[in-house]
Amino acid sequence: MEDSIYTISSWLKKESSEAAEILTIWGMPGIGKTTLAEYMFTSHRHKFESSSFVEAIGRRCAQQPYSQIDLQKQLLGDVLKKRKIEENNADLCTSKVEKALSRKKALLVLDDVDNFQQLDVLIGTKGFHPGSKIIVTTKDGSLTEKCSLFRMKFPPKHTKLALHGLSDTASMRLLCWHAFGNNDPKKGYEKEAERVAKFCGGHPLAIKVLGCSLINKDAAIWSDVLEMLEAKGYLTDVQENVQKALQISFDSLSGDCKELFKHIACFFVGKEREVTQTILKECGFQTSYGINKLIDRCLLKIGGRNELRMHQLLQEMGRDLVRKESPEKPWKRSRVWKHEESLDLLKKDKGTHRIQGLILDTNLLRKELSHRSGSLTEHNFQNDDVNKTLRAAQPIQMVYEFFLRIWLFFARLLLMLSSSHCKKVELRADALRKMDKLKLLQLNHVKINGSYKNFPKGLRWLCMRGFHSKFIPYDLPMENLVALDMSYSNLTQLWKKPKHLGSLKILNLSNSKLVRVEGFSGLPALERLYLTNCESLVHVCESIGGCDSLLVLDLSYCDKLSNVPISISKLKNVRILSFDGCLGASEFLMRMKDMKSYAYSSSVGEFIPKTPKSILLPSLVTLSLVGSNLSNESFPKNFSSMPMLKALCLRKNPIDSLPDCVRSLSRLEVLDVGECWMLKSVLYPPFTIKQLSTEKCLSLIKITFHQEMLSPPVVYYDWSESLTEIQGIIKFQAIAQIEDQILCSLGWINLQHVKDQRIRISESSLWSRAKKLPIPVQMFYEFGIFSTCFHGKAVPDWLHHKSKGSSISIAMPSSSMNKSIQGINISFVHTFPGIGKQSRLKIKVQNVTINRTWIYYGHIFSFRETDEDMVWLSHWMFGNEIKNGDEVCVTILENKLYGGVMVRECAIGPVYTNKDNNEEDPLSYYKSWKHIIGGDLSDFQVASGEYFLNNFRFISHYHVFKRPLN
C-alpha cells in the first residue's frame, strides 16, 4: 500500500496554523481502510499533543445499546489522557469533546463510520484546534461532508482517498503468503495462483480467506476451485467476485463448522471466546475444534480481550445464508437476529419449531428506527437543495415538493411512533410456546406477562437484560440453562425459593439492584459469576465457597459489600478473581494475611480450622484489586498460597514500592501497578514477568529486573514523567549530572557549552512523554549505545574523520600505544526546512571486514525550536566486535516521512582503552546490561551477521498491553 501511505503521509505533514483538516478514506468493505488508517495513526501520532483511534464505530453502534456514550468516553479519555471518564450524558460528553478538541492539536481516526450523525455525536460542531488532523474511514465517500461541521460558515478542508485494492503483484504475494507460506507460488501452481489472485480483484480479505482455504491443497483442488469461481463468468463485478471467494471458503467447511459459523455470525460476534464455547458446546457443537478451524480459514479472529471478531463482510455472508432459508418469512428460518423481525414474529405469535435462536433488544430497535428517521431527515435536507434550484425553472416542482414533504412528514411520524412504542414493549410468555427447538434466546428490555410454564424447556442461553421483576419467576424453565444473563435488571434477590440448577455454568447479574445473593448450594456447576457494579449489594452468602466448579468471580465496584465472604479463599478451581473498587477487598486480604487455614463445613454453615499446610486459592490465575485502597501493609507476607497466579492488577492503590509478597509469585507473567501515585520504584519483580504496566505512576523513578531474566518484559510506562531508568532497556541522565569520568571514558570532551542548553524531546514509542517544555540536554543509553543531541552547526572538532553528507567509511587506525578499540563515536548534523520539525537517530554501522551490520533506531526524537541545526553524538561500545585495521562504514539513514530533514555532515572517531587493569571501570554498570553490542543480541538478529536494534518490543502502547482481567 506504498502509494496510499505516501499520499497520507504527505497530507499529515502539511501543517496549517489556521485550520484543521479531514481526510476520508473510503472503499468497499475489506479493502484495507482500517489497516491503512491504523498504520498511519501509529506512525504519526507522536507529532500531535493528543490522539485517539476509535475503531468499528458503525458495528459497535449497531450491536450495543450503550455504544454511543462508550465511544464518546473513549475519545474524550484519549484526548484528555484520562483512563476513566465520569460522564453518562451524551450531550454533555459531546460538549466536553468539543472543548477538549478546541484546545489541543489532535490526530483522530474515526473508523467504520456509516452514518453522518455518528460524526456529529463524536466530534460535535465547533471545529478543532488549528493543525489537527481527522481521518474518517467509511464505505460511503460522500458521508463525511453531510455532518454538521460542513454546514459551518468556515468548514474544514476536506480530502478524499479512494482505495481500489492491491496491485496484481501485491495480490499474488498476499495469496502466496497465505497459501504457501512465502511470497512466491509453489512450483507447478504458478498459473492457478495467478488466476485466483486476479479473480479477487485486489481485495485483501478475499485473497486472504481464499488463500487460507487452499493451504496444502493439491493442484486438482485449485483447478476445481477456479471452475467454481468462474462458473458465472470471469472477472465480473468485484463485489460479486469477493462474495463468491468468501462463499468458496465457507463451502469447504464441514456441516458442523458451517452451522457453528452461522451461529457466531448471528449471535456471538464480540462475545468472549470461552463463554461462547461453553454455551455452544451444550448446543451440540465441537466448539474448540470448530472455532480453531474457522480461525485457520481466516473466517474468524480472536481480539485482544479474547473476544470473537469477524469481518463485517463475513458476518453479512453468514447472516445472508440464514436469510436465504426463507427470504420473506423470518419465522421459517433457523435464526432470527433482526430486532424488528423478532418483535413482529412474537407479537403475531408466528414462532415455529424451526427457530434455534432469536434476539430482541428494544433499545437497539429504538436506535435502528431513530436512525431510519434521521435518514429521512437527511433526505429532506438534500431535496431542499435540489428544490431551490428547480423551483424557479419548473413551477410544477412546487407541487411535487408539497406532496414529497407531506409523505416525508407522515413517514417520519410513523417511525417516531414506532420508536416510542418500543419503549413500552410487552409480550406474553406464551408467544414462545411453539419454539420447541429454541436454544438461544435474548429478550432485552422487554416486559414479559403471563405464566412462564410454556417457555421453551430446551434453552441453553437466556439473556434478559433489564428484566422488570424483583425475582426470577419460579415457573421459568431453567433446568437445561447453561448461561443466564440478568444484568441491568430490577432484581433485588435471585428468587423467593431456592432452585437447583444443575446445568447453569454462567450467571451474569452485573449492574442490577441486588441486595443479597444466596442459594449457591443449588448451583453445583457454576463456573462464572459476574456481580460487577451491583451498588446495592451488601451480602454474598458464605455458601459460595462450596462452588467447586467456579472459575471466574467478579465483585468489582460493589461499593457497599464490606464483608467479602472469607469462603472465597477456599475455592478450589477459581482462576479469575476481581475485587476492583470493592470496599471489602482490603479486609479480605487482611483476614487472609492472618488466617492459618480453614475448611468450609456445609453441615454447620461456617468455617472450621484445618491443617496449616492447606493452600488458599491454589488454582487462581488472575487477581484484580484495582482501587481497593491497599497499602504495602495490607498484603500478606507472601503469595505462595497462590502458586498458579499469572496476572496481578494493583492499579490505583497507595503502595510506595512493590509489595514483598509479589516476588513470591513464581509464575507471574502480567503485573499492572499503573496509577499508583505513591509508587517510587519497582524492584525485582518475579523473573517470569512478561508484561509490566506502570502507567501514570507520577513518583516512579526506577524499574529494576533480575539479572537472570532471559529478556526484559514488555513495559508500558506512559505519563510516568519521573522515570529515568528501566534497567536492561533504557536509561536517561542529564548531561550536567553525569560524572566527568564517565564522559571521559566515552571520549566526550569539550561539552561544557552543551550542559546549559535545553531541548524538547519525545520518546519514539510512548508519544505522550513528549516534553511540553524544553529540558536540559540528556544522555540516553540502550544496547551499549550512549546518545545525546543538542543545538549546533557542526560536529565536535575532536572527531577527526569527517565527511559531507550522510555516510563515511574508514579503516580503524591503530593506537600509538597499541591499545585496543573500546568503541567508536559517531556524530552528524541534521539541518531542517523549518521550525518544529523532528530529528531522530537512525544509524547503520557495518564492519566490512567481518561482514557484521548493526542498524540502530534510537528511542528519542528531538524537536527543532530554534534557528540552529541539531547535532547528534553517539558512542557505541563494541567490545571485540571492531578491531584495529577493520574497515568500518557508517551511514545515517534518511526517512522521507520526516519532512525534508537532511544530514549535512557526519564524523566518526575510535575510542581506545585508557586504564590500568587495577582501575575501576567507570562504565562497568553499563557493560553489565545483557542486551548490548558484544553481549546477547540474539533477539535482535534479522539475518546472519545483521542486527536491528530497536526497543519497541520491550516498550509498548497501552492498547497492546494485556489487562489482567479480560
pLDDT category of residue 393 using cuts at 50, 70 and 90: very low
- 323 pLDDT more than 90: yes
d(CA 459, CA 356): 9
Q: How far is CA 258 from the centre of its chain?
A: 29
Residue 622: the pLDDT is 93
Distances 301 to 122, 272, 472, 763, 796 between C-alpha atoms, Å: 28, 12, 36, 32, 54
Residue 916: the pLDDT is 61
pLDDT category of residue 399 using cuts at 50, 70 and 90: low
- 157 pLDDT more than 90: no
d(CA 747, CA 740): 10
Q: Work out whether strand 801-804 and strand 902-912 pair parallel, antiparallel, or are unpaired.
A: antiparallel
Taking a C-beta distance cutoff of 8 angstroms, is the pair 828, 899 a contact?
Answer: no
pLDDT category of residue 890 using cuts at 50, 70 and 90: very high
d(CA 860, CA 737): 19
Residue 865: the pLDDT is 72
Q: What is the pLDDT of residues 592-629, one digit of tens each?
A: 666 544 444 443 334 444 434 445 788 999 999 999 88
DSSP labels for 181-235?
SSSSPPTT-HHHHHHHHHHTTT-HHHHHHHHHHTTT--HHHHHHHHHHHTTT-SS
Q: Work out whether strand 852-863 and strand 946-949 pair parallel, antiparallel, or are unpaired.
A: parallel
- With a CB cutoff of 8 Å and minimum separation 6, the contacts of 287 are 260, 276, 277, 278, 280, 281
**Beta bridge partner(s), residue 823:** 877, 911
Distances 690 to 74, 276, 705, 849 between C-alpha atoms, Å: 27, 28, 11, 38
Q: E strands along 555-658, which residues? A: 576-578, 598-601, 606-609, 622-624, 647-649
- 234 pLDDT more than 50: no
Q: What is the pLDDT of residues 705-720, one digit of tens each?
A: 988 787 788 898 877 8
Over residues 277-299, the mean pLDDT reads 91
Q: What is the pLDDT of residues 750-795, one digit of tens each?
A: 888 888 898 888 775 554 455 556 889 999 999 999 999 999 989 9
d(CA 218, CA 596): 64
Question: For residue 142, how many other CB atoms are within 10 A of its CB?
Answer: 11
- 902 pLDDT more than 90: no
Taking a C-beta distance cutoff of 8 angstroms, is the pair 519, 471 a contact?
Answer: no
SS3 of residue 161 by DSSP: strand
- Sheet containing strand 133-138, edge to edge, reads 50-54, 106-110, 133-138, 21-26, 157-162
Residue 836: the pLDDT is 59
Q: What is the pTM of this model?
A: 0.78
Residue 617: the pLDDT is 85
Residue 389: the pLDDT is 39
Over residues 61-71, the mean pLDDT reads 76
d(CA 947, CA 933): 10
pLDDT category of residue 964 using cuts at 50, 70 and 90: very low
Residue 235: the pLDDT is 46
Q: Please write down the HEC assignment for all residues of 873-941.
A: EEEEECCCCCCCCCEEEEEECCCHHHCCCEEEEEEEEEEECCCCCCCCCCCHHHHCCCCCCCCCCHHHE
Question: For residue 604, how many other CB atoms are within 10 A of its CB?
Answer: 8
d(CA 877, CA 923): 10
Residue 376: the pLDDT is 45
Average pLDDT for the chain:
84
pLDDT category of residue 539 using cuts at 50, 70 and 90: very high
Torsion of CA 250, 255, 258, 259, to 10 degrees: 160
Which alpha helices (DSSP H) does 786-905 contain, by range? Answer: none
The label of the residue with cell 424447556 reads: 457
Compute the radius of gyration of the chain from its Cα atoms: 32
- If one compares 30 and 323, the residue with the highest pLDDT of the two is 323
d(CA 267, CA 188): 42
- 690 pLDDT more than 70: yes
Q: What is the pLDDT of residues 173-187, one digit of tens each?
A: 899 988 888 888 888
Residue 771: the pLDDT is 59
- 16 pLDDT more than 70: no
Residue 411: the pLDDT is 56
Over residues 18-22, the mean pLDDT reads 81
Distances 152 to 146, 388, 916 between C-alpha atoms, Å: 11, 20, 75
